[in-house]
A and B are shown apart, each in its own frame.
Chain A
Amino acid sequence: MIDLSVRVGGLTLANPVMPASGTFAEGLDKVMDFNRLGAFVTKTITRELRAGNPLPRVVERAGGLINSIGIPSKGVPYFLEHTLPYYAGHKPPLVVSISAPTAEDFGHLASEMTLPGVAAIEANISCPNIEEDGKAFAMRASSTETVVRHLRAATSLPLWVKLTPNTGDLPEVARAAELAGADALVVANTILAMAIDLDTFKPCLGNIMGGLSGPAIKPIVLRQVYQCARTVKIPVIGCGGISTTEDAVEYMLAGASAVQVGTATFVQPAAMTTIIDGLVKFCERKDITRVADLIGAVVNEESDEPELSWLAPPT
């Protein structure tokens, strides 16, 4: 028997595989047994009612898709009445993804979501901060620290903080989140991107720009997980382009304690349970008894950061 369990930011998960926020909903239970998942992660919810962005909201590109769904939200009452009771009928712990326009509002929503049936809060701080000209909280260490302090003060639940891959200061941002009290980091959200229609010369998305996800982003986000995992002591959850067991293993070797699967589910709806089955087989083949032994097990012989200095100036 392979032990698939992992400890992530205050929770013990039956296995390291869970959905990425915004790519999962009740309908998927037609495809897979929800009780097999490591955790549930909801679509990001906000306090305000929001309609989301203009259409078209997705466009495909080589190895991935660009989305500008935005955060259509039915608000907190709908969540309490429908979403929460639905997931309560299942085994996996429920992680609620939240977002807000200011650090203070983030705190309010986190305390409102600190409820029986909610196992952890995932703060999506990759969203625009209206107090900083719409720049995402997670772009800078200082705004990250402020918002995470508000969140930490507002909830006793395990606090996962989801970072953006669009910052050049990722390790600093990660450290700021840890310092301010995050229990785990989710690395990462989508990469800011764009596509143009060659017939009309118009941007393919109604919102002009959107976030790239899927296999195309995996090597970039894998590197970011590696950097974050070396920088902080709290667990890192890897998220970006994971579609196969091999992708999940690669992320764990880079330092991820668990993984989130997003876009892959759109192509193969049973991707998550297929990956869970694959992890068992992988461990058996490699004679590994606990999947947790993969975490950060990348073998680094001698070669170290200095050799990369030609790629990026030392910070």
Chain B
Amino acid sequence: MQGQAPIPAVETDSVIAKPWSPSVVGEDALVLSNDSVNLEYRHLVVRCSAVSASAVPGQFFQLLCPHTEGAQPFLRRPMSLYGVNPVRREVEFLYKVAGAGTRGLATLRPGNTIDIMGPLGVGFTLDPKLRHIVAIGRGAGLATLAPLAQAAKANGTKVTAIFSARRPELMVSVDLFKGHGAEVITVTDSESTSGPSNIERLLRGLIAAGRCEAFFTCGSSRLLRVQQRLAREFNIPGQVAMEQQMACGIGLCFCCVRDFNVGGEIVHRRVCWDGPVFDMMEALP
């Protein structure tokens, strides 16, 4: 069944084997807890390997969600790092039950295992020289911003967080940010405080007070547009964590591309590989 060989096998001996070790793993992690925090969100804590527990704020994992009776999701689901403890080898996720995959996640009990793959993507860059930053998020975006609070505190950077939600009881991460010494301003749709004009008013106040040397944001294109406008006006840098539907999560399939404006030119980038954290000014809301 073999064909003729027009050309001999390639020369391989000259290649020097370099030592290799994984920096992304797919592994069975042990569920420590998986409790609901409000009507929509659950908090999952797992014990994992040192590689997984080396994740940094803004990175994410791809979770292989347990199959339930009604649904067998085929692909993994992306979830941002919500918290990490490299010493105890724990990572945390905060997720909203949205569909088949996350419904499966909600069935996990302490002692179960969950197959996690990560850490993935490019996270936030926190310049230790920053004295005061603003973190603005909405919905699941608050989960993505959460680990910034601790990292900023470690750098001695002060954080003002503006959190947006539909109703006050759906707000998440507030205590976590306060616990790390951040000031938290909450705005909601039900109280009519979450509109762009109020956000802009709040931000102008913070900028005037010298409390906004950089923006960190996730979860709302409306909020992103407000920040981009102010960033241009006051020349303030910013970073945004973007979302896009994913399949592989590691740069192989090109299903997660978005358009970015890089120096006036529109370029495609893979959210999972080039991001999910991008320069705020290059993002197209």
Chain A positions within 8 Å of B, measured between CB atoms, are: 7, 9-12, 22-35, 51-52, 55-58, 60-65, 67, 69, 72, 89-93, 119, 156-158, 183-184, 214, 229, 233-235, 255, 257, 265-270, 295-296
Contacts and interface: CB of A to CB of B under 8 A. Distances in A.
Contacts of A35: 15, 17, 20
A269 B117 contact: yes
17 contacts: A10-B5, A10-B7, A11-B10, A35-B15, A51-B268, A57-B253, A57-B255, A58-B75, A92-B12, A119-B10, A157-B6, A183-B6, A233-B3, A257-B1, A266-B249, A267-B64, A269-B248
Interface stretch (B22-30, B127-135, B155-163, B233-241): B22-30
Contacts of B257: 52, 55, 72
A269 B250 contact: yes
A69 B256 CA distance: 10
Nearest to B7: A10
B2 interface: yes
Contacts of A57: 253-255
B36 to A, nearest CB: 26
A93 B9 contact: yes
Contacts of A296: 1
Contacts of A56: 245, 255
Please provide the 9 A-B residue pairs with the shortest distance between their CB atoms, ordered closest to farther: A27-B251, A30-B24, A234-B3, A12-B9, A60-B74, A57-B255, A266-B248, A33-B20, A58-B255
Q: Main secondary structure on chain A at its contact with chain B?
A: loop
Interface string B58-82: 0000001000000011111000000
Contacts, number: 137
B1 A93 contact: no
Contact of B250 (A30, A90, A158, A235): A30
Interface string B37-76: 0000000000000000000000000001000000011111
Interface of B: 1-7, 9-10, 12, 15, 17, 20, 22-26, 64, 72-76, 117, 245, 247-255, 257, 268, 273
A267 B23 contact: no
A32 B9 CA distance: 23
Contacts of A24: 252
Given A11-B10, A67-B253, A267-B76, 7 more contacts: A10-B3, A10-B7, A35-B17, A55-B255, A57-B254, A158-B6, A266-B253
Contacts of A158: 5-7
Contact of A91 (B3, B12, B24, B254): B12
Given A55-B257, A72-B254, A270-B26, A183 B3 contact: yes
B250 A267 contact: no
Contact of A69 (B4, B117, B249, B254): B254
B22 to A, nearest CB: 6
Given A63-B74, A67-B253, A7 B2 contact: yes
A61 B251 contact: no
Nearest to A35: B17
Residue with the highest number of chain A CB atoms closer than 10 Å, among B3, B25, B117, B247? B3
Contacts of A27: 250-252, 273
B254 A10 contact: no
A255 B1 contact: yes
Nearest to A271: B26
Nearest to B248: A266
